[in-house]
Amino acid sequence: MTETTGYSGSGFVHVKNPHLDSMEEDILYHLDLGTKTHNLPAMFGDIKFVVVGGSPNRMRAFAQFMQRELGLGAGEELPDISAGSDRYAMYRAGPVLSISHGMGIPSISIMLHELIKLLHHAKCRDVTIIRIGTSGGLGIEAGSVVITDRAVDSSFRPRFEQVVLGDVVVRSTELDKELAEELLACSREIADFPTLIGHTMCTYDFYEGQGRLDGALCSFSREKKLEYLSRAYDTGVRNIEMESTAFAALCGLCGLKAAVVCVALLDRLEGDQIQASHEVLWEYQQRPQRLIAAFIRKRLGLGPAH
Ligand code: R2B
Ligand code: URA
């Protein structure tokens, strides 16, 4: 069974679940929010940008950065809205919601189910959602930022397979092309780092699943690894990470305009271990944040940052 995207033009987020209407309350357990305990339209109804990324600290830093970029009470401590759950962290800065999703498809999936219901219950409109993250580059310089035009699985197919009641449901991983181009144009204005558009391969594992030779298990040769990664490169893959297919599928089906922007921490054609210093890695991780801040400022008509 194949499901396709759900963008309808109304601007609302679509939840595609008839059971939700008959529930007296919807508890968003992992976000520590609920439709009875919280006034979700009042708390979140004006959110226009949702930015998600793996690490809770990085997403707090991003929210603080956005607070400064939008001129909103710089320096004030931002509360973690989901602190009570101890699973994900959520911060808001004006119309921007910044949320962590952990590592891998199961973790981002749980967060996205609840986030999409949150945006629905809050009656948010015209929301743009962006995943910012880290990745392994393929044939590109470390520190380059890749804007994904197509999320593919480890067989280079633009699809996400979800097992539902024991059956495999295939979902499209299409992302918003205009948004990717808009982000690339933004990067041309601000970036002092290489930025490109390319396919992103999403895997279920960091080690064997990404063809690494340095995990606790490895049953293939260096030649086989390079043959696989070269094949990926030849199909247009420029970076590898662990969430993009599920992110693209869920956001697409629920009518959210979505993009994936990841910095490459290394070139996987050259090695497996991440050897850059903490300082260098920290600066790399700021690159997607700076690009998204510039994009949001532009969308809000604020002009370039000073
Ligand atoms: C990128 O980095 C993490 C693994 O180190 C994973 O969440 C991903 O997609
Ligand atoms: N994240 C990944 O998933 N892979 C890498 O190589 C680096 C970061």
Distance 194 CA to ligand 1 centre (A): 20
Would you say the CB of residue 136 lies under 6 angstroms from ligand 2? yes
In contact, 177 and 260? CB cutoff 8 Å: no
The CATH class, in words, for 2-299 is alpha beta
Nearest to 203 by CA among 252, 167, 131, 151: 151
Q: Which residues line ligand 1 (CB under 6 A)?
A: 54, 103, 133-135, 206, 241-243
Dihedral-angle region of residue 265 (phi above 0 means left; psi in -120 to 50 means alpha; beta otherwise): alpha
The secondary structure of residue 193, as a DSSP letter, is: S
Q: Tally Cβ neighbours within 10 Å of residue 206.
A: 16
44 φ, ψ (degrees, to nearest 5): -130, 0
**pLDDT in the model for residue 73:** 79
Distance 33 CA to ligand 1 centre (A): 26
Would you say the CB of residue 265 lies under 6 angstroms from ligand 2? yes
Ligand 2 mutation target, pool 103, 134, 270, 284, most atoms within 8 A of CB:
134
Instruction: Name the CA dihedral angle for 188, 286, 235, 149, rounded to a multiple of 10 degrees.
Output: -60
Ligand 1 mutation target, pool 108, 200, 242, 244, most atoms within 8 A of CB:
242
**Atom number of ligand 2 nearest to Cα 242:** 3
In contact, 212 and 108? CB cutoff 8 Å: no
**Atom number of ligand 1 nearest to Cα 244:** 9
Ligand 1 mutation target, pool 241, 268, 274, 281, most atoms within 8 A of CB:
241
Distance 204 CA to ligand 1 centre (A): 10
The domain locations on the chain are 2-299
Distance 40 CA to ligand 1 centre (A): 30
**pLDDT in the model for residue 154:** 98
Positions of the chain with pLDDT lower than 70, given as ranges: 1-9, 74, 305-306
Would you say the CB of residue 255 lies under 6 angstroms from ligand 2? no
One-letter amino acid at 69 equals E
pTM of the model: 0.96
**pLDDT in the model for residue 9:** 66
Segment 72-123, tens digit of pLDDT: 976 778 999 999 999 999 999 999 999 999 999 999 999 999 999 999 999 9
Ligand 1 mutation target, pool 110, 134, 214, most atoms within 8 A of CB:
134
Segment 123-156, tens digit of pLDDT: 999 999 999 999 999 999 999 999 999 999 999 9
